[in-house]
């Protein structure tokens, strides 16, 4: 065996993983990728040789070296771009220059996205939904998956191998030498899948059950799911689909997430008082200070919660900046069916609680009340926290979205 810096990993007799492992990335456009990630590209070797997706631009050399461990890259006939985001098509121009493929394929929206990003005149062929491409022994078929999670997104499917290239869907940010999910600890897979779903796919949750139903109607009974990040799933795919259907329902639970920041500990004390009373009322509670917790971890905690409590001191007539950051991020991710409340301390003007409350209402959270206190919480403020916790618990019991 020839020694190489990077080699391909066989997925099936015809398909190789030729992606890249990004061990060191810790910020993925605002999402804390504490375990790094992979950019998965796949090589299909048939009469026609096909590269499915590429990698983030700095990893082009790694992808090419992995391809070279199977075939000379110049022997690749076709490139398929399932998704135009730059972590998958960033090295597409370099790949085209080196490979000089007969054709590059993308969805119609993908053709436009690639053109508008690269400002190029490189011809890219638009494939229609369900269009098939004969490769020899294998057939590659394309399925548009618009807004999962970009307008251009599509799946590619090899019927003979029952293999679905699912681009970002079913992915996770997890750098590992293991290429298959069944080689990794189940708890890590659950945690990273949930985080990925919560931070990438949550705004499009209503589309996911429809997509799974469509795949079932079209009899795409996959035995392998090969996403663009993280490991490949094989064998029992039931739990993978079950998780997506469960998260898409966004059914509220009894769990309460309290997220806050503090200047001189007063808002912190309110948060602790709320936590204590909710715990005594029997609720699982996660208390997260934005001084330590990352916005993307808070969103992950919200995925299986029923209530969101947000606390902020007032700073220069505004809510604290970390809360503005979190609420902006959370508004975009659109977690449904939550009840909630605002709380916070202040010295003289005290605008933060109203501003937080307004932001929660704008997000669609059913706000049941608030607690606001000047300087340190006194007995009256702590009593108000107890009353707010009781009100929240009652609202959770009556939440119509509850299972």
Q: Which residues are catalytic?
A: 29, 83, 85, 87, 149, 168, 196, 229
Among 62, 87, 144, 297, binds ligand FEO (CB under 6 A): 87
HEC states along 60-119?
Answer: HHHHHHHHHCCCCHHHCCEEEECCCCHHHHCCHHHHHHHHCCCEEEEEHHHHHHHHHHHC
Judge contact between 355 and 346, C-beta under 8 A: no
Min CB(90)–ligand FEO separation in Å: 10
Tell me the three state secondary structure of residue 347: coil
User: What are the angstrom distances between the C-alpha of 83 and each of 92, 145, 149, 194, 393?
Assistant: 11, 10, 9, 21, 43
Among 85, 152, 261, 357, binds ligand FEO (CB under 6 A): 85
Which residue number, 38 or 262, has a Cβ lying nearer to ligand FEO? 38
Q: Which one of 85-93, 110-118, 313-321, 335-343 is the stretch in contact with ligand FEO (CB under 6 A)? A: 85-93
Instruction: Give the count of residues interacting with ligand FEO (CB under 6 A).
Output: 9
Min CB(56)–ligand FEO separation in Å: 9
Which residue number, 167 or 262, has a Cβ lying nearer to ligand FEO? 167
Which residue number, 150 or 260, has a Cβ lying nearer to ligand FEO? 150
Min CB(180)–ligand FEO separation in Å: 19
Tell me the three state secondary structure of residue 336: coil
Kindly identify the residues of this chain, within the stretch 341-400, that bind ligand FEO according to CB under 6 A: none
Sign of CA dihedral 299, 368, 324, 380: negative
Nearest to 130 by CA among 214, 19, 254: 214
Min CB(228)–ligand FEO separation in Å: 5
Kindly identify the residues of this chain, within the stretch 127-186, that bind ligand FEO according to CB under 6 A: 149-150, 168
Among 14, 66, 179, 229, binds ligand FEO (CB under 6 A): 229
User: What are the angstrom distances between the C-alpha of 337 and each of 165, 209, 367, 403?
Assistant: 32, 17, 11, 11
Q: What is the DSSP letter of 83?
A: -
Tell me the three state secondary structure of residue 105: strand
Among 62, 228, 254, 275, binds ligand FEO (CB under 6 A): 228
Kindly identify the residues of this chain, within the stretch 25-84, that bind ligand FEO according to CB under 6 A: 83
Min CB(397)–ligand FEO separation in Å: 38
In angstroms, the CA 207 to CA 23 distance is 32
Which residue number, 231 or 340, has a Cβ lying nearer to ligand FEO? 231
Min CB(240)–ligand FEO separation in Å: 17
Which residue number, 150 or 170, has a Cβ lying nearer to ligand FEO? 150
Burial class of 318 by CB neighbour count within 10 A (0 to 12, 13 to 18, 19+): middle
Q: What is the DSSP letter of 11?
A: S
Which residue number, 31 or 346, has a Cβ lying nearer to ligand FEO? 31
The angle subtended at Cα 332 by Cα 341 and Cα 317, nearest 5°, is 50
State the residues that interact with ligand FEO by CB under 6 A. Answer: 83, 85, 87-88, 149-150, 168, 228-229
């Amino acid at each position: 065996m020839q020694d190489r810096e990077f080699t391909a990993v066989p997925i099936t007799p015809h398909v190789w993983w030729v992606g890249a492992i990004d061990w060191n990335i810790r910020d993925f456009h605002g999402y804390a990728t504490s375990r790094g990630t992979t950019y998965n590209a796949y090589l299909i070797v048939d009469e026609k040789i096909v590269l499915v997706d590429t990698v983030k631009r700095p990893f082009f050399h790694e992808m090419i070296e992995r391809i070279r461990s199977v075939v000379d890259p110049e022997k690749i006939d076709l490139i398929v771009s399932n998704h135009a985001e730059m972590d998958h098509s960033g090295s597409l121009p370099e790949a085209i220059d080196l490979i000089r493929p007969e054709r590059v394929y993308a969805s119609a929206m993908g053709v436009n996205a690639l053109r508008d990003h690269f400002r190029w005149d490189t011809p890219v062929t638009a494939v229609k939904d369900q269009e098939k491409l004969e490769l020899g022994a294998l057939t590659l078929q394309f399925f548009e998956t618009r807004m999962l999670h970009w307008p251009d997104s599509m799946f590619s499917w090899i019927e003979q191998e029952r293999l679905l290239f699912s681009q970002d869907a079913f992915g996770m940010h997890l750098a590992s030498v293991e290429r298959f999910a069944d080689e990794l600890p189940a708890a890590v897979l659950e945690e990273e899948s949930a985080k990925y779903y919560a931070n990438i796919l949550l705004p499009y949750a209503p589309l996911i059950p429809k997509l799974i139903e469509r795949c079932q109607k079209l009899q795409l009974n996959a035995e392998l799911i090969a996403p663009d990040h993280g490991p490949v799933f094989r064998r029992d795919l039931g739990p993978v689909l079950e998780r997506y259907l469960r998260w898409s329902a966004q059914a509220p639970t009894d769990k309460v997430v309290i997220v806050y920041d503090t200047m001189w500990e007063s808002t912190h004390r309110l948060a602790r008082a709320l936590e204590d009373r909710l715990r005594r009322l029997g609720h699982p509670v996660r208390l997260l200070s934005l001084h330590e917790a990352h916005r993307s971890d808070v969103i992950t905690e919200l995925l299986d919660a029923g209530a969101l409590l947000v606390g902020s001191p007032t700073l220069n007539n505004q809510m604290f900046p970390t809360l503005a950051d979190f609420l902006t991020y959370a508004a975009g991710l659109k977690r449904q069916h939550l009840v909630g409340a605002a709380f916070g301390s202040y010295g003289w003007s005290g605008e933060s609680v109203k501003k937080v409350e307004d932001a929660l209402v704008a997000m669609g959270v059913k706000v049941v009340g608030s607690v606001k206190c000047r300087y340190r919480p006194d007995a009256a403020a702590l009593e108000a926290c107890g009353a707010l916790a009781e009100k929240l618990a009652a609202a959770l019991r009556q939440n119509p979205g509850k299972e």
